[in-house]
A and B are shown apart, each in its own frame.
Chain A
Amino acid sequence: MENKQQKTIITVVGKDTVGIIAKVCTYLAENGINILDISQTIVSGYFNMMMIADFNGSKKAFGDCQEDLEKLGEEIGVDIKCQREEIFQKMHRI
């Protein structure tokens, strides 16, 4: 949808393997999406990466990026989700 100063949370969950971050970042760079923050943890043996990204300069619509990233995730064998930040803000901040 129309983005005005909207931040997006990208999460990558799955088995750790070489090049996950590289592939996701390459995709984002190619499409003009700026990464504001990255963090990574291992939860019960699974690789968990969270990125906060700025889609304002994105060349593609939000929905299309979601689909592309989902496909990319399938190729690498991880689950990639793209959600607007508000859902987390609302739930965890008063």
Chain B
Amino acid sequence: MINSWEVIETNHMVEHENLDVRTITIGISLLECIDSDLDKLNENIYRRITTVAKDLAKVGDAIQKEFGIPIVNKRISVTPIALVGGAACKSPEDFATIADTLDRAAEAVGADLIGGYSALVSKGMTKADEMLLRSIPTALCRTKRVCSSANLASTKTGINMDAVKLMGEILLEVAEMSKDRDSVDCMKLVVFCNAPDDNPFMAGAFHGVTEADAIINVGVSGPGVVKTALEKVRGENFEVLCETIKKTAFKVTRVGQLVAQEASRMLGIPFGIVDLSLAPTPAVGDSVADILCEIGLEFAGAPGTTAALAMLNDQVKKGGVMASSYVGGLSGAFIPVSEDQGMIDAVQAGAITLEKLEAMTCVCSVGLDMIAIPGDTKATTISGMIADEMALGMVNQKTTACRLIPVIGKGVGDTVEFGGLFGYAPIMPVNKFSCDDFINRGGRIPAPIHSFKN
């Protein structure tokens, strides 16, 4: 029988330590919607999404009430639109009409965001892929809920440098088109290496082609819970530290597992995975950087940060894996800058640089995330930063990503406000030296060798 201390502990996590379910994401396959007529295709997509996800908001609210656990976001991910729209779309504008449809459908079912305006181009681009990528600026700027992603590289295929070059230009275009709003639309666009098919987190969620018709994926968030647990073991050795993180990760993940199972039962859609990520928010006490400080660093970014983060990430997985029957998605600690107050503080104190963040992404998910850079950064420089991050993922056989925000009209020393869960970010300096000739070569970087690992 449950005792009152356990009940108090759980409720304390929710009320004071920001324990919540970050997202219930329904993955929906749109492959059956494919048609060569664009109007028909849009109609099919709208009908499919509004049928499968019609109870999403209702079920989310019901679970929140019954268990007393906040569910912050209800989301949808769909089959990469480059695949779905390939037969019908003859121009980037044609693709953008699908983004409009996704936006309408998401609004109709009360989903906060919809992901999957995506192309998988890790080796080569089809005409449809390229048109979709070129339509991203229009699509993102005239929709509210649509998120876009592109997989530019993988361990098996290498890096598609043509696509990397293109995405540097596209990102600047998105920034330019939303410059009157501090280029905020860039946060709805992310590029990946080794993108997972079942990621519930935005902006990178899409429903991979290896997935079933529909599936429920859940992401939990509990950096505050881990931080509070670690406060009780200050000064103890690494064994105690690691045990504490594992136990806490177990508890947090169990909540995700329960919510995923309930959502699956109530919606009549199979349970996919729980994503074991530590996802911060700008709320005080909901920060991954604060955990690093609790582990013993003055600020995130101090020497030792990469080791501390590697340890944290590994223990979260070790604790979480046993708590859930299926684990997937990104599963690791997120280190976005703008969404994490401790990270913002570290930038403002001058403790952390882009280069250190890059090193940190070698040992955790997911990459250079929500980082504001000067608006006058060249497209080739952005492509160079993307290529570096892709290389880390490719060689280390892990998912890495880039979600950079070049803020047009602002430079180092300025701050941008993204609002709500997305927080604010000080603009970080970017290395000024050129990589033009490297990016302009064109072609692919071959896949790395899978032996002789050193």
Contacts and interface: CB of A to CB of B under 8 A. Distances in A.
Interface in A47-94: 48, 50, 52, 62-63, 66, 81-92
A91 B14 CA distance: 13
B4 A88 contact: no
B255 A90 contact: yes
A88 B6 contact: yes
A35 B62 CA distance: 24
Contacts of B236: none
Interface residues of B, number: 23
Nearest to B254: A90
Nearest to A6: B66
Nearest to B257: A90
Contact of B11 (A11, A37, A63, A89): A11
B358 to A, nearest CB: 36
Interface in B1-42: 1-11
A18 interface: no
Contact of A89 (B2, B69, B266): B2
B251 interface: yes
Interface string A11-22: 101000000000
Contacts of B7: 9, 11, 50, 88
A39 interface: yes
B68 interface: yes
B220 to A, nearest CB: 11
A82 B64 CA distance: 11
A85 B7 CA distance: 9
A58 B219 CA distance: 33
A87 B62 contact: no
B2 A84 contact: no
Contact of A66 (B4, B5, B11, B65): B65
Contact of A86 (B1, B11, B67, B251): B67
Contacts of A52: 1-2
B258 interface: yes
B67 A84 contact: yes
Top 10 nearest A-B pairs by Cβ distance?
A: A83-B68, A50-B4, A90-B254, A87-B67, A92-B6, A90-B258, A88-B2, A91-B251, A91-B254, A39-B4
